[in-house]
Amino acid sequence: MRRRQLLAAASARLEAAGVASPGHDAEVLLAHVVGIDRSRLVLLDEVGEADLAAYERLLARRCDREPLQHLVGHTWFRHVRLEVGPGVFTPRPETELLAGWALERLGALEHPVVVDLCTGSGAIAKALADEAPHARVHAVELDPDAHRWAVRNLAGTGVDLRQGDAFTAFDDLLGTVDVVVCNPPYVPLEAWESVAPEARDHDPHLALFSGADGLDAIRLLARRAARLLRPGGELGVEHADVQGAAVPAVLAATGLWGEVRDHRDLAGRPRFTTARLAR
């Protein structure tokens, strides 16, 4: 079948299935099947029968809302490639902004120490180790399956990866950390039906849901980060776009934080909060 005809039909099927980026996903899957970079698809005239069959199988799974990243086995986060699949939260592009904020802070320090709590696939930790090689990067993940993915992704990076509870980990670092970053679970349990099927049905629920209002983990983070950081150290935490007021309020209510500020993503939606340890 001709490439253009195949992609047009595949895109229409994906759009009908509710996939948010049908044209993009159709191209990524085809490039994966034929073993070329997506940018080189324009050089492909026809798709053979064996590749057509493989493409159809992946297309059907994507129409069932299986994450694109699971189907190709990897994703990109800033400048690093991550292996992902069942059992680990798929990193989102919005989180790159939080990582970028952390990199700015690390760049101003000579020998910084940074901790990535709830590391999941290891996305933030790997990006920080890649772009701030002068920093000592530590990361922790509770879920055993997700931790196994992080082990694979962080191998050879020098990141100190541990398995355990993010809100009790790193007793050996208390009071010495310059920057804490965290992409915690923040979806309210009552918002179950509103979560996209790719996340609701495939991301670990431990990485998604956090109590009735979605703030349980952030309440724990506000206290734990304050113990990890040195005086004047900084915290950055991602949140849902409806929590742009709630998360700063959680931090302010502790009396531990100053310079509490919320930041918007590229679409103008509230996306992460930063604060400086006041004591």
94, 232: one domain: yes
147, 43: one domain: no
- Sequential pLDDT tens for the chain (279 residues): 788 899 999 999 999 999 999 999 999 999 999 999 999 998 888 899 999 999 999 999 999 999 999 999 999 999 999 999 999 999 999 999 999 999 999 999 999 999 999 999 999 999 999 999 999 999 999 999 999 999 999 999 999 999 999 999 999 999 999 999 999 999 888 777 788 888 888 988 989 889 899 999 999 999 999 999 999 999 999 999 999 999 999 999 999 999 999 999 999 999 999 999 996
Which CATH number goes with the domain that contains 36? 1.10.8.10
102, 147: one domain: yes
pLDDT of amino acid 213: 93
Binding site per annotation, positions for substrate: 183-186
Distance CA 146, CA 244 (A): 27
Binding site per annotation, positions for S-adenosyl-L-methionine: 141, 183
| Residue at 46 is within a domain | yes
pLDDT of amino acid 88: 96
pLDDT tens per residue, range 90-102: 999 999 999 999 9
pLDDT tens per residue, range 202-230: 988 989 889 899 999 999 999 999 999 99
60, 154: one domain: no
| The one-letter amino acid at 25 | D
52, 126: one domain: no
47, 139: one domain: no
117, 219: one domain: yes
And the tokens for 244?
């742009």
54, 113: one domain: no
45, 125: one domain: no
Q: Which value, to the nearest 10 degrees, does the dihedral of the CA atoms of residues 28, 31, 36, 37 take? A: -20
pLDDT of amino acid 76: 95
pLDDT of amino acid 208: 87
Report how far apart, in Å, the C-alpha atoms of 58 and of each of 14, 30, 256 are. 11, 9, 50
| The one-letter amino acid at 55 | Y
| Residue at 71 is within a domain | no
pLDDT of amino acid 95: 96
Number of separate domains in the chain: 2
Share of the chain above pLDDT 70, in %: 100
pLDDT of amino acid 196: 87
Residue 270 pairs in a beta bridge with 264
Range of the domain at 52: 3-64
54, 153: one domain: no
234, 169: one domain: yes
pTM: 0.92
Report how far apart, in Å, the C-alpha atoms of 138 and of each of 73, 93, 131, 228, 259 are. 25, 22, 15, 12, 24
| Residue at 127 is within a domain | yes
Which CATH number goes with the domain that contains 106? 3.40.50.150
> Which residue, 21, 39, 64, sits at the end of a domain?
64
What does residue 193 show for φ and ψ, rounded to 5 degrees?
A: -70, -20
Binding site per annotation, positions: 141, 183-186
